[in-house]
Every structure is written in structure tokens, then in C-alpha cells.
A and B are shown apart, each in its own frame.
Chain A
Amino acid sequence: MSTTIEQLEGYVVDAYASFKERRQKDSHWLKQLREEAFERFRAIGFPTTHEEAWRFTNVSSIAQTPFRLGSEDDFSVSQQDLEEYRLVEFACQLVFINGYFAPELSWLAGLPVGLEVSSLAAQIDEDPESIEPHLDRDRSAPLDSFEMLNTAFLQDGAYVHIDRGAVVKDPICLLHVSVSGVPPIMSHPRNLIVAEEGSQAAVIEEYVSLDGGLGFSNAVTELIAGEGAAISHYLVERENLQSFNVSTLHLRQGRDANVSSHSILLGGGLVRNNVHPVLGGEGAECLINGLYVGSQRQHLDNYMLVEHASPHCNSRQFYNGILDGQAHGVFHGRIIVQKQAQKTDAKQTNRNLLLSDDARIDTKPQLEIYADDVKCTHGATIGQLDENALFYLRARGIDEVSARNLLLQAFAGECLDRMHEPAPRKFIEGLIGQRLADIGRADLRASGSGHRQPDEIVWEEAG
């Protein structure tokens, strides 16, 4: 096996060698952290579909494309290029081009009291002690080889620090922009968000591409929510359909912390969205909300690993998927309830709409419960647009395209209703509206007015 890995991941080995050369001056602990991660990656390589967590997602195209690390000066992006990505009223917007912080494109003026933001690169250079205790705290157990890869190439990303008790009203926006190159470029952004005790904020982490070219973004975001903190995280993936995008969100929650994760996957060709909350403090609550909308040949994989490590914690997972064309969606919801996590209340719901005969969804719950006094439920539905509802709307004068669109919006609306901050909600509602309008038009062209018998698959279990 190892020879195969050497061949496939040769580009990674080369990239790492020159990266290491360039980063000689970094702190010893950081270099060691990278080295360990790289050695681990080298030992196992990219995941294959033989692994349970990757059964439905084949990443050989990532392994076989010789990506290179971009450099800070091989792109030129202007303020004008980014105009359409400034839709939200934000507290600040940090812009990253191919993983590198671009201060001249970012908006950091007039930060509210209690909010500190900068690039991870700046923290590494100027104040590495500020990040050391937080970075990769779970060093013993990285989620997968993509995370190892990210840690091996760790150099830049966002650093957000919210002071104890600070309430940040407007969202903190992290805009990750891909610009394609030849050979294609990979980036490994690392975002670190530290929310101290009793603080409150919303973070929007968005991935976009400025052109139609191929790229690979492999991000890891670590969000640490202190005791009683209330933090919302919004992931918005809307890169072009050539893009590979892997993102991993680690949520570490202290006592009574309330965290919500909202993942909105609208773009990207091959997308893997890992969400990994660890409810480590008593009374913590976690909402894991998501919507994936795929068309053409998009592959959108959502891997949830919810870890209940303390008693009296609640987690709620709600993911809705809309799949058209030959799109393939995956929802893998794994819940681990550790022995000491009594009185856990965990719920998981995955609902899917398949709009074409070739669209596909694989949905899979995986419950591992080691405590004996817990409530865990999970359920999934797979269905098509309700023909009765469609006819009802049309019989009132609403044309077929609009009627389909209304029904899709209603389905996606369930996800929007779980977003409680008005600004991100409104922004995401707009993006979803556009995406669904595109799908509605394409779908009508493809299928004509042919109709199918509605068949629905539903399963639900309680444990």
C-alpha cells in the first residue's frame, strides 16, 4: 500500500518539503505540530471508500490532481472583484485569497469593543503564545487525514478572539476566495475562534471562487466556546462546480455554552462538510443545522460527529437536502454518548427531496451510546416534490416554475427558521433563493411536465 500512497500523494510530499523549508523560523512547538501531523498523514494517506466515514465519498480525484500551494503574490484581486460578496452588514470582514490573509481587501475598521481579529499568520509571527493552548487541542485524535494535512500546512487563516462577556452585534465575516492557477492550487486555511466566558457573536465563514477553474480548499475551523457563551457559526459554500472543498468544524463547548452550527452547501463540485461538536461541559446545548442543494454532478457530503462527553447536554441535528440532476448527497450522522454523559438528549433528523431520477442520497445514522440514561432519536425521509401541493398551487394561477420554487423554498425554509440572527439569515435566504430559482428553471427544462408517482421513504427510530 505505501508505494501507492507515495505515488498518489507525491505532490503533497513535495509541497510539504518546500513549505517546511520556508517556515524554518516558526516556533518549535508549531513545527513539531506540523511534522507530527504530516507523518500521520503519510502513514495513512487520503481516505478510501473502504473506511466507514468515507463509504459514499471517493476522494481519489483530490489525491490524483497535482495541487500546489499558492503563494501570497501570485494573484491579483481588487476591491471591485469582491463587491458582490459584501452583502451583509458586518462587524468586520477578513478576506483570504487562496488561504492567505489579504489585509488590503479586508474591512477591519471600527471593531466593536471586546472583539479582536487578525490573521493566524500574524499571530504565529507576533504572538504565538496566544494560539498555542487552543490549536489542535485534540492532537491525539485528528478527525481524518484531511485534518492532518491542514495541520501539516498550517500557516494562515482567521484569528478571532471575543472577550469575556462581550456581545458582538453584527456578524464577523471570514471570506475565503479561491483564484485558480496552473497547476491548480490548494489551500489549507486554519481558523481559530475563541469566545470567552459569557460572550456572544455570530461568525460567517464563506467560500467563494472568482473564476470557473479547479481548486482545492481544505479548511479547519476550531471554535472554542467558553462557559455560558452563545455563538453561532455559519458555513456558506458557494464555490464553482469544479471545486474541491473539505471543511472541518470543531466545536468545543464549555459548561452551559450554547452553540449553533449552520452549514449551507450550495456550490462546489466535491464537498465534504465535517461538523464535530464536543459537548464537554455540563448543560451545554448544540444546534447543528444544515441545508445542501446540489445539481448537475455535485457531490455534497455531510459528516456529523456529535460527541456527548458530559451529563445534561442537548444536541439537535437538522439537515435538509435538495438534490437534482445527477447530484449525490450524503448525510452521515454519528452520535457518541460517553459513559459519563447521563441525561443526554440527542436528536437527529435528515430530510431529502430528490428532484430527478438520477439524483442520489445516502443517509446513515450511527449511534454509539455508552451511558444508560439517555434519549436519542433519529429519523430520515427521502421523497419528491409533493405533486398534490404542486397542483394546488397551479390551480390557483401560480405557474409551474414558480410553484416548484415555492415548494422548494418552503422546504429550505425549515432550515432558515432555525437561524435566529436576522442579518445572516437574510443574507443566506437571498443566496438560497437564487440557487433554488436556478434549479427550478433547469429542472423544468430537463423534465418537461412529466410527473412521477410520489413515493416516500420514511424511517424513524427512538433509542
Chain B
Amino acid sequence: MSLLEIRNLHAGVDGHEILKGVDLTINAGEVHSMMGPNGSGKSTLAQVLSRRQTYEVTRGEILFNGNNLLEMKPEEAACEGIFMAFQYPVEIPGISNAYFLRSALNAVRRYRGEDEMDAMDFLPMFRERLKLLEMDEALLNRSVNDGFSGGEKKRNEILQMAMLEPKLAILDETDSGLDIDALRIVANGVNTLRNADRAMLVITHYRRLLTHIVPDFVHVLVDGRIVQSGGPELALELEEKGYVGTDHGTQQALSA
């Protein structure tokens, strides 16, 4: 059984269809990259997978571990093992990172029937993961993303992923806006978390990230449909030729 099976997915916002029949199968251990021009539906796919209710699914189905994902609430999907690193992580003043992460971790553990972690168990784990992302321990008591730089926010997303150990990690344009150093740290974190049980869907606009995180499969999404799939070499090809299928796409040759 595949970890994720998307069949003929149609979805949109406010009656406006954005995804127009997406089929995608992801197995445990695989890293897939979803590329495509702006507005092609990449982020919509990420939002639907993380069960954001503002995105309406009109047709098709999604099975996660054989279960109907479309019947799950966001928190259920998260507890089942789906993690989305946000393109725009939300600032939440007044809730400390430590408290937030422990609440999230314990919610997931409760769901899985595991014992909750107290602060004593939590801290060593947290410290170890902080090192992986080259983050400062002072982060513990800072409010979630509040006053963080762009790079810090993205690193904080990967830190959460490292703590929550999902089965499927979706990186929604995590590379956008990152400087060289932050990109290296983020990519290093992601690569460390790659293993045979964990799948990843890396959504990006730029090939740059894929030189750091080498995918097993590359898909090209244009106007709500996957128009091309292939191996890592496809990303290189796209850089040279641009996206096929739309005029808009050809102009938007991949750079950076």
C-alpha cells in the first residue's frame, strides 16, 4: 500500500477551481518534488493535504495510509503523520515555542496512545534537534515565530518537523527568500530527517533547493494538472527549457 494516493483531485477556493485533476502516488521513503510556475496550484495542494478548510475539494480522493484524508480535520491529519512546513509561518505572540512544541508533541503522542512527555523528557530531545538546525536555546522561551527573521521562521518549521517526526513531510516553498546559509541549514536538517519510513513532498519554485535536497521524483504542475513527471534530471531540463504547456510557463524559466 502506498503512503499517499491522490486520485483525480479537484479543489479550489470560493468556487474557483485551482486543482483540475491531480494524480500522485508517494511511497514511504521517497522524496518527491513538485515544481511549477506561480499560480499553478502547488500551494493549494499543500493546503488540501494539511486539511485547511478554506480549500474545498470538489472531486477525487486522497488516501493516506489507506485512510480517507478528506474526512480528517487538520489536527487528525497531523496526528496521522502529515506535517506541512508553512510557506508563511504564523507569528503567535504570547505562546512560547517550548510550550507550543510540547503541546503539539503530546497531542500527537496521545493520539498514538503513547505517554505524554514532561519537561524533563522533552528538553534533551529539544536541545538535540536545536543543534541540528543550528538554533539558539534562547528560542525555547521566545514566542512562536514572533519577531523571527524569515530564515529563523523557516528553520523553526524544520525544527518542528524534527520534533514531530511525521510520516509525510510537505515543504511548501520552504526555500523561498532564504539566504545561502539558511538554505544550507534547512536542507541539511531535511536531509538528516530523510529515512526509509518517511516520505517528503518538496514544493518549490526554484531548482536551487533540489541541488541540496536531491529528490527521487520530480513533477511539474501547470494550471492545476501534473503535466510532466520524471527523475531528478527533469529539474535540470526545466531550468534550460522552462515549463512546457503554457506560454506563461516558458517565460518563467527557472532560475537561481
A141 within 8 A of B: no
Q: A409-B94, A449-B53, A451-B53 are in contact. Are A398 and B75 (CB under 8 A)?
A: yes
The proximity string for B residues 47-61 relative to A, scoring 1 for CB distances below 8 Å and 0 otherwise, is 000111110000000
Nearest to A413 among chain B residues (CB) is B94
Question: Chain A residues near B75 (CB, 8 Å)?
Answer: 394-395, 397-400, 403
Interface string of A393-424 (1 = CB under 8 A from B): 11111111011001101110110000000000
9-residue interface stretch from B100-108, B117-125, B197-205, B234-242 = B100-108
Interfacial residues of chain B within 200-242, with CB under 8 A of chain A in the complex: none
Say if the beta carbon of B84 comes within 8 Å of chain A: yes
Q: Is A19 an interface residue (CB 8 A)?
A: no
Question: Is the CB–CB distance between A392 and B95 below 8 Å?
Answer: no
Given A406-B95, A449-B53, A394 contacting B73 (CB threshold 8 A): yes
- Sample of 15 further A-B pairs with CB below 8 A, known A393-B104, A395-B77: A392-B89, A393-B92, A394-B74, A394-B78, A395-B50, A395-B74, A395-B78, A396-B160, A397-B107, A399-B107, A406-B95, A406-B100, A407-B95, A410-B93, A410-B95
Name the distance in Å between A171's Cβ and chain B's nearest Cβ.
25
- Residue in chain A with minimal CB distance to B105: A397
A383 to chain B, nearest CB (A): 13
Instruction: Classify the interface of chain A: helix, strand, loop or mixed.
Output: helix
Can you offer 9 A-B residue contacts whose CB atoms are under 8 A?
Answer: A386-B90, A392-B92, A394-B74, A395-B52, A396-B160, A396-B164, A397-B105, A410-B94, A414-B94
Chain B contact-residue range equals 20 to 34
B107 touches A398 (CB 8 A): yes
User: In chain A between 429 and 451, which residues have their CB closer than 8 angstroms to a CB of chain B?
Assistant: 449, 451
- A408 → chain B closest CB, angstroms: 10
* Complex contact B92–A397 (CB within 8 A): no
- Inter-chain CA distance A301–B89, complex, in Å, is 37
Q: What residue in chain A is nearest B107 (Cβ atoms)? A: A397
B107 adjacent to A392 (CB under 8 Å)? no
Residues of A within 8 A of B83 (CB): 396
- Among A386, A397, A398, chain B packs the most CB atoms within 10 A around the CB of A397
CB-CB under 8 A from A388, the residues of chain B are 90
> In chain A between 226 and 264, which residues have their CB closer than 8 angstroms to a CB of chain B?
none
A389 CB-CB contact with B under 8 Å: yes
A397 and B160 within 8 A (CB) = no
A120 to B78, CA, bound (A): 60
Is B148 interfacial (CB 8 A cutoff)? no
Residues of A within 8 A of B89 (CB): 392
* A54 interface residue (CB < 8 Å to B): no
- Across the interface, A397 reaches (CB within 8 A) one of B53, B54, B78, B95, namely B78
CB neighbours (8 Å) of B104 from chain A are 393, 396-398
Give A406 to B84 CA distance when docked, in angstroms.
Answer: 20
B78 interface neighbour in A396, A413, A414, A449, Cβ under 8 Å:
A396
Question: What CA separation (Å) do A449 and B54 show in the bound complex?
Answer: 12
CA separation between A449 and B73, bound complex, in Å?
10
B84 with A395: CB separation less than 8 A: yes
Among A389, A402, A409, A410, which residue has the most Cβ atoms of chain B within 10 A?
A: A410
A422 CA to B52 CA, complexed, in Å? 40
